[in-house]
Amino acid sequence: MSTTQTSKIEIIKSSTTKINSVDFENLNFGAVFTDHLFECDFKNGKWQKPVIKPYAPFLIDPSTRVFHYGQAIFEGMKAYKDDNDDIWLFRPDENYYRFNKSAVRMAMPEVPSAIFMEGLNELLRLDEAWIKKGKGNTMYIRPFMIATGTGVVANPSDEYKFMILLSPAKAYYSGEVKVLIAEHFSRAANGGIGSAKAAGNYAAQFYPTNLANKEGFQQVIWTDDATHTKLEEAGTMNVFFRINDTLLTAPVSERILDGVTRKTLIDLAKSKGIDVEVRPVLVQELVEASKNGTLKEIFGAGTAAVVNPIVGFSFREVYYELPKIENSYALQLKEHLTNIQHKLADDTFGWTVKV
């Protein structure tokens, strides 16, 4: 290992690389990590010296707060390599902003841009050989922060660890996705943490999702917990509905994540002349639109899957199949967005940022 210093980040290079053992054509999402990671600890009320170092396990005390009281947040981002070997990020400021919004809600310290952004850029440059060219190849980026203070008392931690991991990725979802509309379980409370990208929100979804899986549904469409009448998210993604030629999606709220892909698709759809309505969408409306043939599409939107078309939904034991259509908004939007991300289409929005 050799140690160098770039700006304020200490860089400890791995003496070996795992890259030759990786089959880049057959990657399981989130399973393989690059040679290095970025790390910065928060102690004594301030962020300590940031470091890039070989990806490796670290020592942790059994009483560490994240295990007991769950202060843990993350982001999902992607980097892309174009045909000129330039590396691009997609709207990284949006993820940075949301990360710190999550931090505030979870009583964790905000991460300065100099740490988050410079750490990310430096790490991507160091492990750039892991970012493969060609559409469909991406580098999934996982910034996260955990409470590392010790002691089993239910108070906010006074120590934290911020890390960035890199995981080369192909597509996230595969196969046909049928969804079950939640009538009992919920993912978020009014005045809760549903709009934060907090670890605990995900664990809470696993059991209801497992129940749906057993009934043959890959995901759950979450509804508002008070009335179960409003359609809010699909699995871990925001959700869009196309009724006739209008695209509908719920407004962001305390219960709904302010998804970067969501807001991107809204702008992209509008730029194509598609009518977009951001308003509460009711379960009953969806059922009626399906019955009278005006429901054309449902799709999830998120960083990992980009756009995830849904083929049908179940509500109160009745399964509603979606029509197979030409000119799918989901596929058009996905194609356009991934082309922008991979620098294969003009980025008239200024969304892509060079590393």
For 163, the token pair is: 């890390």
Closer CB to its own copies, 58 or 319, in the complex: 58
CA gap 52, 11 in Å, rounded: 5
Question: Closer CB to its own copies, residue 252 or residue 276?
Answer: 252
- Kindly give the pairing relationship between strand 9-13 and strand 2-6: antiparallel
User: Amino acid identity, residue 126?
Assistant: L
* DSSP letter (8 states) at residue 128: G
Q: Which is closer to its own copies, CB of 202 or CB of 320?
A: 202
- Shorter beta-carbon distance to its own copies: residue 57 or 350: 57
Q: Report which of 124, 127, 148 is spatially closest to residue 68, judged by C-alpha positions.
A: 148
The site for its own copies, by CB under 8 A, has a size of: 69
Please, what is the minimum distance in Å from the beta carbon of residue 63 to its own copies? 6
CB of 333 to its own copies, least distance (A): 23
For its own copies, the closer of residues 269 and 310 by Cβ is: 310
Residues 140 and 78: beta-carbon distance below 8 Å: yes
Least Cβ distance, residue 84 to its own copies (angstroms): 29
Among 3, 43, 206, 345, binds its own copies (CB under 8 A): 206
Single out the residue of 152, 115, 142 nearest to residue 8, CA to CA. Answer: 115
Closest CA to 141 of 163, 115, 156, 118: 163
Quick one: which of 54, 112, 192, 280 contacts its own copies (CB under 8 A)?
A: 192
Cα gap 338→317, rounded to integer Å: 36
Question: Is residue 349 part of the contact set for its own copies (CB under 8 A)?
Answer: no
Shortest distance in whole angstroms from residue 302 CB to its own copies: 10
Taking the complex as a whole, the smallest distance from the CB of residue 222 to its own copies amounts, in Å, to 9
The C-alpha atoms of residue 306 and residue 302 are separated, in whole angstroms, by: 5
**What distance in Å separates the CA atoms of residue 128 and residue 261, rounded to the nearest whole number?**
24
From candidates 204, 278, 311, 353, binder to its own copies by CB under 8 A: 204
Binding to its own copies (CB under 8 A): which residues in 111-140? 140
Stretch that binds its own copies, among 10-18, 149-157, 269-277, 324-332 (CB under 8 A): 149-157
Name the 3-class secondary structure at 30.
coil
Q: Are 220 and 197 in contact (CB under 8 A)?
A: no
Contact flags string 32-71 toward its own copies, x per CB under 8 A: -x---x-----------------x-xxxxxxx--xxxxxx
Nearer to its own copies, 146 or 250 (CB): 146
| Residue among 201, 218, 303, 338 that touches its own copies (CB under 8 A) | 201
Q: How many residues does the chain have?
A: 355
Q: Which CB atom, from 186 or from 338, has the smaller least distance to its own copies?
A: 186
Could you give the string, one character per residue 233-252, with x where binding to its own copies holds by CB under 8 A and - elsewhere?
---x----------------
CB 45 within 8 A of CB 86: no
Can residue 207 be called a binding residue for its own copies (CB under 8 A)? yes
Strand partners, 53: 37
Question: How far, in whole angstroms, is CA 231 from its chain's centroid?
Answer: 19
Report how far apart, in Å, the C-alpha atoms of 293 and of each of 282, 286, 324 are: 16, 10, 12
Of the candidates 3, 4, 113, 155, which one interacts with its own copies according to CB under 8 A? Answer: 155
Q: Dihedrals φ, ψ of 252, to 5°?
A: -70, 155
Dist. CA 107–CA 53, nearest whole Å: 28
Interacting residues with its own copies (CB under 8 A): 28-31, 33, 37, 55, 57-63, 66-72, 74, 104-107, 140, 142, 144, 146-147, 150-156, 163, 165, 167, 182, 184-193, 198-208, 210, 225-228, 236
